[in-house]
Amino acid sequence: MDQTTAVSAPQPGAAGATLPEAELSGLAFSKGHGTGNDFVLIADPGAIHEITPDQVAQLCDRHRGIGGDGLIRAVPSRDLPEGRALLEQDSSAEWFMDYRNGDGSLSEMCGNGVRVFVHFLIDQGLVELGPGQALTIGTRGGIKKIVRSDNGYAVDMGPWEFIFPAEATSKAMDALVSADGLEVARPGLSVSMGNPHTVVALAELSELSATQLFKAPVVDPKPANGTNVEFVVPAEPLVHDGFGSITMRVHERGVGETQSCGTGACAAAVAIRHWAGSTAPNAWHVNVPGGVVDVKFFPGPDGREHVELSGPAVIVAKGTLS
């Protein structure tokens, strides 16, 4: 159930910590999450709030701010260059998900964030969306279509692709990944879901638990714009009742370890299905520290294979910056 509370803006503390600029004072916000992947949410229908990277980092600070893996600003697509370009493709993409990582850096997309974004639009009265109805939105990862489903929201994440297709096809790996807690570097497979991911398979849940994600794993070679890294353990047996099942932890680029990553869950399913071979299923349960999301592969309208991500979204708090 949604809850309401008041939360103050970040207060001065350690060196470099400052209050957000005056124009953010009095700004209403919400806090939401999708399977533990949490966000500060701001409605900006007039496109009047320019939130700087430093302000995003302050607001997402878990000790001196509201706390979150990222910040999402809801802004009309017509008011951003990226949004106007998408409106030329689909005029129904009226709202744009302006997403920043917790460190203030721009991100192309966030699968859990998309669900929370749509839930926020509904909660704010900016859109209406009944069960089974679809909404089109703009993101820096392209146009996304979201359907209100039985377990929350289902998102057509669009097509997936290998970042290094020649290596993925010939060797089923394209990088070596090192992380604290793992004795040796492990092979990884890099997948784009509109943002970059490198997926590593581990044999046991004990290995997954022992992997330390306080700092970013080392990926060699690293995709040009950096990468999110997923460590994944396939279930035994892998398939039950037609669904594949995997357990995942993730280090998100610009954030650190998070409770869940929607695009990461999709990328992990892509990689494990590729490694499992032609008999692998097209429907997957992905267990993350924050819960379970479902991933499904299906033929897209553009002739490419698309990925659907479904799962819950919750608004847990509302307040005003002081």
Catalytic residue annotation: 110, 261
- Kindly list the distances between the CA atom of residue 41 and the CA atoms of 32, 92, 99, in Å, as whole numbers in the listed order: 7, 22, 9
Tell me the Ramachandran region of residue 300: left when phi exceeds 0, alpha when psi lies from -120 to 50, beta otherwise: beta
Burial class (CB in 10 A: 0-12, 13-18, 19+), 302: exposed
Q: For residues 174 and 226, what is the distance between their CA atoms, to the nearest angstrom?
A: 14
Tokens coding 27: 């700004």
Report in angstroms the alpha-carbon separations of 260 from 111, 151, 287: 10, 16, 9
* 46 φ/ψ angles, rounded to the nearest 5 degrees: -95, 0
Q: Are strands 28-34 and 161-162 parallel, antiparallel or unpaired?
A: unpaired
